[in-house]
Amino acid sequence: MLRQPLLMLSRSDKVKNFVTAMPVSSGIVSRYVPGEATQDAVEATRELIESGLHVTLDFLGEDTLDREQADATVAAYLDVLSALADQGLARNAEVSVKLSAVGQSLADVGEKVAIENARTICHAARNAGTTVTLDMEDHTTTDSTLGILRELRKDFPETGAVLQAYLRRTEADCRDLAYEGSRVRLCKGAYNEPESVAFQDKHDVDKSYVRCLKVLMGGAGYPMIASHDPRMVDIAGALATRNGRAQGSYEYQMLYGIRPDEQKRLADAGEKVRVYVPYGQEWYGYLMRRLAERPSNLTFFVHSLVSKK
Ligand SMILES: Cc1cc2nc3c(=O)[nH]c(=O)nc-3n(C[C@H](O)[C@H](O)[C@H](O)COP(=O)(O)OP(=O)(O)OC[C@H]3O[C@@H](n4cnc5c(N)ncnc54)[C@H](O)[C@@H]3O)c2cc1C
């Protein structure tokens, strides 16, 4: 019930200024974001890989309306990819990219700039020996993002897609993308979407998630099950068995700092588990979406704000 008010409140400049005055090291921030610098991200990656997990790194930032900022984001990805390669981590760590952070929202030239920039990152990832997944943002960008994905996959077929089960269209998108070699991350969806395009009731979202999972797990692609929900994890396991899928022909994905014991448990059971690690200075929007999903963290959050720790 608190999800929509929290997402709306997060758009207030006053709230933003107040919250971003907190250091990234404060408890509530560092729980979800390991740091602002490339080296913080690489260190967190190393620790996760050493404990048997895989990683996808997200340089935080979205809705860039500034060409220089988009270029700076590309440079940050090139920097982290070269650090991963130099330090022998690229085999187990890829990157996740938000197209709006690399120019998709720029007036008139947005798609062109986003494709060029995404292509540059895909090239660097391939040279480093790893892959890119395109994050999915709010529904107004879905068609554009899937169009850019199709374009990128002509040269980089390994590029991963993300689909959001809360959107009414997604079961059909899953069918389109369940082909051999197609990496598809299925998540529930994190944005505040209207009823016309998205299921509003949590149970309807869960039911859609299961329908989409059935399509992906029964298809020829590579499903990436991005959920912390114990029921979705169990259902994915049952569908793997039913479809004769071996461990490693699909993977589980969870966010940094959320259910780390479950991440480890699945990995210890032989499953491939990838942790999504966001880093960088633009952690505000990301943090607010995580809080909106879990209002019970608000007490901890308010305490962090008051004590500024
Ligand atoms: C790897 C990954 C990548 C993602 N990429 C995208 C993307 O590109 N686009 C997009 O829109 N969304 C993305 N998401 C976010 C996703 O859409 C959901 O908003 C988020 O994962 C919460 O949904 P859930 O499936 O975990 O289930 P929920 O029903 O929200 O939660 C199920 C259970 O998980 C635990 N849990 C969930 N959230 C938290 C939390 N914040 N703190 C502590 N415990 C928690 C609780 O036990 C809860 O009962 C991604 C998620 C993951 C894991």
Q: What is the pLDDT of residues 86-138, one digit of tens each?
A: 999 999 999 999 999 999 999 889 999 999 999 999 999 999 999 999 999 99
Any ligand 1 atom below 6 A from CB of 135: yes
Ligand 1 centroid to 232 CA: how many Å?
11
Give how far the C-alpha of residue 139 lies from the chain's centroid of Cα atoms, to the nearest Å. 15
Hey, what are 292's tokens?
């909106």
Any ligand 1 atom below 6 A from CB of 228: yes
> With 50 as the cut, is the pLDDT of residue 309 above it?
no
The ipTM, to two decimals, is 0.95
Domains of the chain: 34-282 (3.20.20.220)
Beta-strand runs (E) in 123-215: 132-134, 161-164, 183-187
257: CB partners within 8 A, 6+ apart: 31, 32
230 pLDDT tier (thresholds 50, 70, 90): very high
Ligand 1 centroid to 14 CA: how many Å?
26
**Predicted pLDDT at 296:** 73
- Which residue is closest in CA terms to ligand 1's atom 28? 229
For CA atoms 241, 246, 251, 252, give the dihedral sign: positive
**For ligand 1, what atom is nearest to the CA of residue 253?**
1
Q: For the chain, give the percent of residues with pLDDT over 70.
A: 94
**In this predicted structure, which of 23-37, 204-218, 272-286, 291-305 has the lowest mean pLDDT?**
291-305
The neighbouring-strand residues paired with 252 are 225, 273
The values of phi and psi at residue 183, to 5°, are: -90, 120
304 pLDDT tier (thresholds 50, 70, 90): low
Sheet holding 273-279, edge to edge: 132-134, 93-97, 54-59, 273-279, 251-255, 222-226, 183-187, 161-164
Polymer length of the chain: 309
**Predicted pLDDT at 305:** 62
**Averaged confidence pLDDT in the chain:** 92
Alpha carbons 129 and 298: distance in angstroms, whole number: 40
Over residues 23-81, the pLDDT tens digits come to 766 677 888 999 999 999 999 999 999 999 999 999 998 788 899 999 999 999 999 99
What positions carry a catalytic annotation? 135, 185
Hey, what are 52's tokens?
């048997």
Any ligand 1 atom below 6 A from CB of 262: no
Hey, what are 86's tokens?
């130099």
Over residues 249-289, the pLDDT tens digits come to 999 999 999 999 999 999 999 999 999 999 999 888 888 88
Alpha carbons 83 and 77: distance in angstroms, whole number: 10
